[in-house]
């Protein structure tokens, strides 16, 4: 699994969750239902103007900083 950028956020980072079982039988792409933002811009765009999301914010992007790094 790729490291996550320390500046990437969704609301799920802030709400308390456990045992959120669902009997939804769908095959939804859960990731695509998330709304991301970048803490450096407070928008769904990174400082480079490209989208901020779990697919785009990856190692190799200039603005990427892994969680736990300074």
Residues forming the site for another protein (CB under 8 A): 1-4, 8-37, 39, 41-45, 49-54, 67
Tell me whether residue 9 or residue 63 sits nearer to another protein (CB atom): 9
Least separation in angstroms between residue 23's CB and another protein is 6
Cα separation, 19 vs 38, in Å, equals 28
Least separation in angstroms between residue 38's CB and another protein is 10
**Cα angle, residue 65 at apex, residues 14 and 40 outer, rounded to 5°:** 60
């Amino acid at each position: 699994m790729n490291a996550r950028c320390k500046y990437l956020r969704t609301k799920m980072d802030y709400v308390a969750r456990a045992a959120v079982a669902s009997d939804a039988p769908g095959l939804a792409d859960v990731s695509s239902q998330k709304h991301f933002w970048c803490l450096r811009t407070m928008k769904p765009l990174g400082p480079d103007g490209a989208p901020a999301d779990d697919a785009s914010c990856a190692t190799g992007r200039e603005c990427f900083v892994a969680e736990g790094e300074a």
